[in-house]
Each structure stands twice: as C-alpha cells, then as structure tokens.
Amino acid sequence: MSDKFLINKNLSAEEELLNLLLYNGIQFRGQDGEYRFVFSENGKKWRTICKCGGSTVMIYGLYPFEVEESLSAAHTVSEINAKLAHGCLFVRDGKAAIRTSAGLFDAYCAYEMIARALEYNANAVMSFWDKLFMHRARLS
C-alpha cells in the first residue's frame, strides 16, 4: 500500500487536539494528555477538560454549580441522558458534567472530529443549563 494514504497513520489524539486549540487561539492549560480551558456563551461560563488517550479525546463540560442530591434531580439527569445522542450527563459528589468523545480513525478528518465533539459538548452544556440549574444545591 502506498504512503500517500493517511488512513493507517497512527493518530495521536493529543497532537490533534493541541493543533486545534492552538490554531483557534483557545487559551488552555495542561500537559501529558489532559488539557483545561474555559468556554462562555450568553453570560454562562464553564470549564472544559479534555483527556487524550491513543486515538480518543474524552471531553468533559463541567457545570460551575453543584447539583442537589434528590430524586427530582436524578429524574432530570435521566431525562437529559435520554435526549443526548452522543455522550452522557453524570453527577458525582454534586458536580455535574456532560461527557462526549471524539474517536479518531482517519487523519483527514481528525481535526473536524475533535471540533465537532467540542461543539456538541458546548451545545449540550448550554442546552441543559437551565433545566439542571433548577436543581442546584442551595447553601445552608
């Protein structure tokens, strides 16, 4: 097989993610396969964490408020998960996150796959913000 086909090229999710972040001027921190940055839209601001391993980028959009532990909140999380086509919402120790991923299988579309996964994650965070915010933990 010829070297002109990049399909079998060993892809580095970390390298591809860094190229995307740098090209788009996104300020980030991190190293060794884990990178953090902040997104904001319409006055809402949240952290995003990307963890790279092999040819996969796992993306976590972290809500900045804690979610109460209640049956009502669990029901809302379940409703949101039923609507997510890619990824999931989970709550651990009151912290809520939307998790999505980008599996890179082709060097030609690796950049686009990561960009789409980041966009989907950001859109999901924004789409369910108000519904999840109704279940924020109240400080006593």
Distance CA 120, CA 57 (A): 13
The model's pTM: 0.89
**pLDDT, position 44:** 96
- Three-state DSSP class for residue 4: coil
Query: Has residue 60 been placed in a domain?
Result: yes
CA dist list (Å): 76 to 8, 98, 128: 42, 14, 10
Handedness of CA 69, 71, 77, 81 (dihedral sign): positive
The reply to whether 8 falls in a domain is no
Kindly tell me if the per-residue pLDDT of 20 is higher than 90.
yes
Q: How many domains does the chain have?
A: 1
> Average pLDDT of 22-26?
96
Residue entry with tokens 């532990």: 69
pLDDT one-digit tens code per residue, 51-81: 999 899 999 999 999 999 899 999 999 999 9
Flag whether 105 is in a domain.
Answer: yes
CATH code, domain with 97:
3.30.1460.10
